Chain A
Amino acid sequence: MTARAPRRWQEARIARIAPLTPRIVQVELEAPIPAHRAGQHLDVRLTAPDGYQAQRSYSICSAPGAPRVALAIERLEDGEVSPYFHEVAEPGDTFEVRGPIGGHFVWREQDGGPLLLVAGGSGIAPLVAIARHRAATARGLPTLLVYSARTWDDLAFRDELIAMEADDPAFRIAITTTRGPKVREQDHERRLDRALTAELLAGWGGTPRHVYVCGSNGFVEAATAGLLALGVPPSHIRTERFGEAGT
């Protein structure tokens, strides 16, 4: 249980940076940090020429054991740090990282399932790390990923996750888009409310043992209220929320 959090700031070098969606970039890093668990995050620190520093936390989207640790960073309007990654950062640039951090919103192979992952927007980042870790270590584990985003093009990691579903019948992905049409017949075009949560769980047929919900506070409140109403014990549900106005 006890997690020794690290630590020291380490220099990280950007190896690759690429858009995942119009609002989210993936930043792949070369950094001397210890192995992470799926679901953890890194603290990031940028330093201006006069010594001024800014820190933020970003979820790790790469699977444990991946050749490089990767962050998925959403551009926030009026943000101080996220615009740097969208507009300025290039391969070869360096900044500091600290971590991995977090001892609760994590999934390990031995935790098992059935597993329910619920992502709102960029809340997919720690959940894709879990989905990737599951694909690598626990193929066949009953898993449902419910993924809500504004439009089809706002679904980061979409093609990879759909391929994951095609590759493993035990892995299902239910997509809902709130401001654009669905593309797959089986998907949805509405907010994840109590009724949709009930419909998706009934369609899945599983009883989740471990639930991970990540998104804005409003999204997490709605999703967890639906799950609690269906009788999912609160102790089975882990949440990670980004604030209403974080930068």
Chain B
Amino acid sequence: MATTRGFFGRRPDADTAKRLPPGQYLERGFPVLSAGPTPQVAPADWSFTLKVGPRAVKRWSWEEFGRLPQTEITRDIHCVTKWTKLDTRWRGVMIDDLLAAAGLEAPPTAFTLAHSFDGYTTNVPAADLLGGRAMVALAYDGKPIPPDHGGPARLLVPHLYFWKSAKWLSGLQFTERDEAGFWELRGYHMYGDPWREQRYTDDP
């Protein structure tokens, strides 16, 4: 590729560079990206519903959800707007534990659609939520997740672009087919692997 005259860039150190997917840069802050206003969801109004197709199989109140086993994980996160933040620390309920608590030994279908209180949706294959790869996060960096970062609870699927980690999560629905969510209907990739740079619809 032709070089850009006069551009030299600012390279990250070698250790950081290894952790930056293609086209990403290191961010030390925590930018907020949202398609609409921040919904304020009070604990009394919060609930989480697990659905298989149209059928609700389990519903938790905020108090009930807080009694599920919680795990702490530290992961790098990658936003499709090009920033990557390293070593973010989250605590929440692993999806593996969520399914176990609902009495599901295996995912009932191969795909899921995450639902949020503001009507947002995003699709994630069921396999990507299991095996310790995803959680319903309740705390960030040791504190409740601030509303503009998706609190009270957000999905966390850190190995996919961060729009898959739905803010203001209200439920998870198992679907027979891979159904496009909000951004996937608006030009963004159905899967969204940062290491393959799957940003937009037609990216391989």
Q: Which of B3, B39, B148 is A217 in contact with, Cβ under 8 Å?
A: B148
What's the Cα separation between A221 and B38 when bound, in Å? Answer: 7
Do B201 and A4 have beta carbons less than 8 Å apart? yes
**Contact mask B92-130 → A, CB, 8 Å, 1/0?**
000000000000000000000000001100000000000
- Give the size of the chain A interface in residues (CB under 8 angstroms): 51
B17 to chain A, nearest CB (A): 9
Do A57 and B10 have beta carbons less than 8 Å apart? no
Q: Is A224 an interface residue (CB 8 A)?
A: yes
Do B200 and A6 have beta carbons less than 8 Å apart? yes
Nearest chain B residue, comparing its CB with the CB of A99:
B200
What's the Cα separation between A135 and B28 when bound, in Å? Answer: 40
Specify which chain A residues have a CB less than 8 angstroms from the CB of B23 in the assembled complex.
45, 53, 55
Q: Of the 9-residue stretches A149-157, A162-170, A185-193, A235-243, which lies at the interface with chain B?
A: A235-243
- Give the size of the chain B interface in residues (CB under 8 angstroms): 44
Nearest chain A residue, comparing its CB with the CB of B6:
A88
Residues of A near any B CB (own CB < 8 A): 1-7, 11, 45-49, 51-57, 80, 84, 88-89, 93-96, 101-105, 217, 221, 224-225, 227-228, 234-235, 237-239, 241-247
What's the Cα separation between A221 and B36 when bound, in Å? Answer: 10
Specify which chain B residues have a CB less than 8 angstroms from the CB of A57 in the assembled complex.
81-82
Do A5 and B37 have beta carbons less than 8 Å apart? no
Scan residues 27-64 of chain B and give those whose CB is less than 8 A from a CB of chain A.
27-39
A222 to chain B, nearest CB (A): 11
Q: Which 10 A-B pairs have the closest CB atoms?
A: A243-B31, A245-B29, A103-B186, A5-B200, A5-B187, A224-B37, A88-B6, A3-B187, A217-B32, A46-B4
